[in-house]
């Protein structure tokens, strides 16, 4: 019976030690490294680009300006100057444009073009029709201000 028990014992390595071999550890490290690199690539691919973030900020700025003009019954304008878009309000007494409480949007390394130099936003909700285009590297976004 003792001989049968001795035959059924399976040794873990050639020398009879009960630890992991160097090859087994290297294979596990290789598998963990491959899985980690694939996970990092998928996380970076899911992150929005700088142009896409700016695109969403500009759309939100136009929508917020339209709602503010209607709620406060003021005339606003959106202008693009020196890599930033500003919303200004018209003072009815002085007929001068003043800065509004809507925050400006700034950007770098992104080309923005608009077919209108000034986009008017009236209290009745009317917005000057304009196509605003953003381009960075080979990424291109555009929206029509009057369709928001």
Residue pLDDT, tens place only, 26-38: 999 999 999 999 8
Decide if 6 is inside a domain. Answer: no
Decide if 66 is inside a domain. Answer: yes
Contact 31, 38 (CB under 8 A): no
- Average pLDDT of span 70-76: 93
Handedness of CA 67, 57, 131, 143 (dihedral sign): negative
Decide if 28 is inside a domain. Answer: no
Check pLDDT > 60 for residue 12.
Answer: no
Decide if 9 is inside a domain. Answer: no
Decide if 105 is inside a domain. Answer: yes
Q: How far apart are CA 19 and CA 131, in angstroms?
A: 68
Residue pLDDT, tens place only, 84-100: 899 999 998 999 999 88
Please give the residue range of the domain that contains residue 65.
50-147
Decide if 14 is inside a domain. Answer: no
- The number of folded domains in the chain is 1
Q: Provide the pairing of β-strand 131-136 with 111-114.
A: antiparallel
Bridge partners (DSSP) listed for residue 117? none
Collapsing DSSP to helix, strand or coil, 38 comes out as: helix
Q: CB count, 10 Å around CB of 146?
A: 14
Strand order in the sheet with 131-136: 111-114, 131-136, 139-144
Decide if 26 is inside a domain. Answer: no
pTM: 0.68
Query: Across all residues in the chain, what is the average pLDDT?
Result: 85
Q: Which residue has the higher pLDDT, 4 or 81?
A: 81
Decide if 95 is inside a domain. Answer: yes
Find the CATH number of the domain harbouring 112: 3.55.40.10
């Amino acid at each position: 019976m003792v001989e049968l028990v001795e035959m059924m014992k399976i040794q873990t390595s050639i020398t009879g030690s009960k630890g992991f071999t160097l090859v087994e550890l290297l294979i596990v490290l290789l598998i963990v490294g491959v899985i980690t690199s694939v996970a990092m690539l998928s996380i970076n691919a899911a992150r929005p680009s700088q142009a896409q973030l700016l695109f969403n900020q500009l759309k939100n700025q136009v929508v917020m300006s339209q709602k503010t003009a209607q709620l406060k019954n003021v005339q606003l304008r959106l202008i693009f100057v020196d890599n930033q878009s500003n919303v200004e309000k018209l003072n009815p007494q002085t007929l001068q444009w003043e800065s509004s409480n809507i925050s400006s949007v700034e950007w770098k390394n992104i080309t923005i073009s608009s077919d209108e130099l000034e986009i008017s936003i009236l209290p009745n909700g009317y917005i000057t029709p304009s196509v605003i285009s953003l381009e960075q590297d080979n990424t291109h976004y555009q929206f029509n201000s009057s369709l928001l």
